[in-house]
Amino acid sequence: MQRIHSGRLARRAAQSPGALLVAVASVLGLVGFLYPFILPAIGQHDPDQAQQSAHASDAPLLFALLAGCSLAAIVVSLSRQQWQQGEASKTVALLGALVALDAALRLAPSFLGASPIFLLIVLAGAVYGGAFGFQMGALTLLVSAFLTGGVGPWLPYQMLGAGWVGMTAGWLPKPANRRARLLLIALFAAFWGFLFGALLNLWFWPYSSTGAGGSQFAWSPDLTFTEALRRYVSFYVATSFVFDPFRAAGNALLVLALGGPLLAVLERFHARFGWTPFVRAEGKERRAEGGVIP
């Protein structure tokens, strides 16, 4: 009983550094997304200067932050899981395989915003937890961007959005009934179909137009928080709301159609991650040294 308790504590200690890195990346990334609402609150009153500096330097910083945190979380998981080396190596190998497979799926043509890449991100997060899901989402978007030529200032924001999809999937409850769990994951994937579009619109909203009185969609640091939020909602409805239902429906349908067998496969791998190298008993080792056992 004591060994079981110690093993659980060791597992938590091994996972906490990676989770901390994910939390740091998420908090700083959230600031990058929400700065159009933060600038009015801190008294920025130069619209031209604010417009010129919008995302001028935050995209490279966020990119370095996300890539660094994802890689550091992998290294930490290896170094902190010496007590169970088999699990650490299998986890990293599985992450690499899933990222490569999901990145290749981005080459498949999308239909009005619906893409198959979110299926594996959601399922991986639901099975292996939030930290794994965040790395899965962020690295998938990173690798797929190089495959599709989609590298640009939008990339770190896409990585954050996809990372949060996987991270929050790890927070979902796990009902004993398989159908209930699959339906819950499908609803969750549909919800993120809308939320992903709403988040990604934030990174380029300040570029769309300038001046507090120029347009009902325009952003300006002179706006109050309430007015900025109202204008962004109008901007989102006009630019992205038409496409996001297709992403939401595509996510839900893919989960319902393929989620059952994929969940079973991922959970089977997860159950085998407790493998540890075989070690001979002390008595047998001594007999082997004495020549009894070859």
Backbone phi, then psi, for 210, in 5-degree steps? Answer: -125, 160
**Whether 210 contacts 51, CB under 8 Å:** yes
Closest by Cα among 292, 222, 251 to 111: 251
Q: What is the DSSP track for 110-138?
A: PBTTB-THHHHHHHHHHHH-HHHHHHHHH
Q: HSE-up of 187 (CA within 13 Å, CB side)?
A: 8
Rounded (10°) angle between helices 2-41 and 225-239? 100
- The token duo for 229 is 């939020």
CA distance 239 to 233: 10
**Whether 35 contacts 212, CB under 8 Å:** no
pLDDT attached to residue 54: 47
Q: What is the pTM of this model?
A: 0.76
- The token duo for 34 is 């929400």
- The token duo for 46 is 């130069």
**Whether 161 contacts 99, CB under 8 Å:** no
**Whether 53 contacts 241, CB under 8 Å:** no
CA distance 26 to 29: 5
pLDDT attached to residue 291: 45
What is the 3-state secondary structure of 175-236? CCCHHHHHHHHHHHHHHHHHHHHHHHHHHHHHHHCECCCCCCCCECCCCCHHHHHHHHHHHH
Report domain extents, the chain: 2-273
Q: What is the DSSP track for 45-81?
A: --HHHHHHHTTSSHHHHHHHHHHHHHHHHHHHHHHHT
pLDDT attached to residue 248: 93
Q: What angle do CA 94, 134, 102 make, to 5 degrees?
A: 50
pLDDT attached to residue 86: 56
Residue partners of 48: CB distance under 8 A and separation at least 6: 210
CA distance 251 to 118: 7
Per DSSP, the three-state class of 262 is helix
Closest by Cα among 120, 118, 138 to 21: 138
Per-residue pLDDT of the chain (294 residues; tens, 9 = 90+): 444 443 443 444 344 566 777 777 777 778 778 877 776 655 554 544 444 444 445 555 655 666 666 666 666 655 554 444 556 677 778 888 999 999 998 887 776 667 889 999 999 999 998 888 988 998 899 899 888 877 777 888 888 899 999 999 999 999 999 999 999 999 999 999 999 999 988 887 877 655 545 567 777 777 788 888 888 888 888 888 888 999 999 999 999 999 999 999 999 887 776 544 555 555 544 444 444 444
- The token duo for 48 is 């031209």
